[in-house]
Amino acid sequence: MKDFSAQLAQLNAHAIFDFLCREALGARASDIHGDPGAAAFRLRFRVDGVLHVVAYISPQQAQSFIARCKVLGGIDITERRLPQDGQTTFIHHLDTGSEHAVDVRIATFPSVHGEKITIRLLDTARGRISLKYTGLSERHQKKLLKYVHKQQGLVLVCGPTGSGKTTTLYATLLACSRDQRHIVTLEDPVEYVLEGVVQSQVMPKIGFTFASGIRSILRHDPDIIMVGEVRDKETADAALQAALTGHLVITTTHTATALGSIMRLLDMGIEPYILTAALSCVLAQHLVRCLCVHCRKKCALSSRQESSLIKHGFELPEFIFESTGCEKCGMTGYHGRIGVFELLELSEPLRAAIAERVSIDILSEIALQDHFELFLADAYDKLVQGSIGFSDFLSVADG
């Protein structure tokens, strides 16, 4: 990654914001981090999930830069003691002469050396939103859409923060007939605008929460309700009741695994009989780095790699792919990220076990007997296909 320190030293606060946004978008960065220090202010881009240092500027210059960001984001410029957030729009001018608007989310956080700032870039023109481009296999797509095309039930998407859950939600909605089905969303915030979908942003400060929003939506004859996240029991109760009364509800939880999301809902206080009656399936996902297609090469397996695959019960492929880095990927060897998934369908034995409140270990045994495929199986397929390298396969294996 280039060092922009010299260029930034010559710019004013307004120009620094434009420069960083332009360069970050060109590098496919999702976030810009500004970190205060005793002697200098560090700037970093997050690209494909990894942070890269791109510049250092003086504390004085950083203070002006943060003030400019606050003005743009509609944030109180005089308040430096409390975390704040806001948003603005950046007009990205492309080399082709065209331009498009990029949604920018700005957040500040107080620290001992001054305010930290994080700028998230939501570039809707960059990504192609469809289930195909999430990395979801055809097999998983068919299973997921089987439940999405039903008239009622709860479809749960789970994963850690930044795992692509929102993109999967949008891709799932786009796979539905938006002319024949009334689709309404509750989001915090709305990240992408979808044609043919009624989208709403919750505002908890004035009482417009996920739970109250669901209850209001039910008066508008919805077919599909998308809820950005189940954060509490009240929202979970409202979502489950909607799913049990002739509506399809699609939502997310911040849990790492499919079975973990079921345990999370039970821990919230959801009655097992309600959960088993409403829940259709759980799709869990993580993001891993894609190998650069321009510099990846076939490689023979090392003895260590062979042992690892055998240990996890996989057949040994003739070869795998690894990349060395090139100009196309900035010498990193990676370009973009892809989802690794596990999809849990609720069989009758699994529903019965949930109703009995058995442990997650017993649930796992029953699910595996029902041919439930864990993340690692999907990661292995992507390893053999050349989408990911062995180190990222191991990161999935190690959990």
Percentage of the chain with pLDDT > 90?
Answer: 89
Query: Can you give the length of the chain in residues?
Result: 399
CB contact at 8 A, 206 and 246: no
Give 309-367 pLDDT, tens digit per residue.
999 999 999 999 999 999 989 899 999 999 999 999 999 999 999 999 999 999 999 99
| Three-state secondary structure call for residue 170 | helix
Looking at residue 100, its pLDDT comes to 85
Please list the residues that pair with 226 across neighbouring strands. Answer: 185, 250
Distances (CA, A) of 188 to 69, 171, 203, 213, 332: 21, 17, 8, 12, 33
Q: Are residues 182 and 94 in the same domain?
A: no
Give 21-53 pLDDT, tens digit per residue.
999 999 999 999 999 999 999 999 999 999 999
Q: Are residues 135 and 118 in the same domain?
A: no
Q: Are residues 160 and 294 in the same domain?
A: yes
pLDDT tops 90 at residue 399:
no
Q: What is the mean pLDDT of residues 272-298?
A: 97
CATH at 30: 3.30.450.90
The whole-angstrom separation of Cα 373 and Cα 95 is 45
The whole-angstrom separation of Cα 248 and Cα 226 is 8
The whole-angstrom separation of Cα 287 and Cα 28 is 15
pTM summary value = 0.88
Q: How many domains does the chain have?
A: 2
Q: Are residues 149 and 210 in the same domain?
A: yes
Looking at residue 125, its pLDDT comes to 65
Q: Are residues 230 and 328 in the same domain?
A: yes
Give 72-91 pLDDT, tens digit per residue.
999 999 999 999 999 999 99
Give 192-247 pLDDT, tens digit per residue.
889 999 999 999 989 999 999 999 999 999 999 999 999 999 999 999 999 999 99
Q: Among 122, 146, 162, identify where a domain stops.
A: 122
CB contact at 8 A, 166 and 174: no
Q: Are residues 60 and 175 in the same domain?
A: no
Q: Among 122, 140, 169, identify where a domain stops.
A: 122
Label residue 176 by pLDDT band (50, 70, 90): very high
Looking at residue 142, its pLDDT comes to 97
Q: Are residues 187 and 118 in the same domain?
A: no
Q: Are residues 154 and 73 in the same domain?
A: no
CATH at 361: 3.40.50.300
Q: Are residues 14 and 99 in the same domain?
A: yes
Q: What is the mean pLDDT of residues 157-172?
A: 94
The whole-angstrom separation of Cα 269 and Cα 231 is 13
Looking at residue 157, its pLDDT comes to 98
Q: Among 122, 151, 176, identify where a domain stops.
A: 122
Terminal-to-terminal C-alpha distance of the chain:
29
The range of the structural domain enclosing residue 86 comes to 5-122
Nearest to 196 by CA among 213, 210, 214, 184: 184
pLDDT tops 90 at residue 398:
no
pLDDT tops 60 at residue 127:
no
Label residue 251 by pLDDT band (50, 70, 90): very high
Q: Are residues 182 and 321 in the same domain?
A: yes
What are the two backbone dihedrals, phi and then psi, of residue 333, each rounded to the nearest 5 degrees? 90, 0
Q: What is the mean pLDDT of residues 374-384?
A: 97
**Orientation of helix 360-369 relative to helix 348-355, angle to 10°:** 170
Q: Are residues 93 and 187 in the same domain?
A: no
Q: Are residues 61 and 135 in the same domain?
A: no
Looking at residue 132, its pLDDT comes to 87
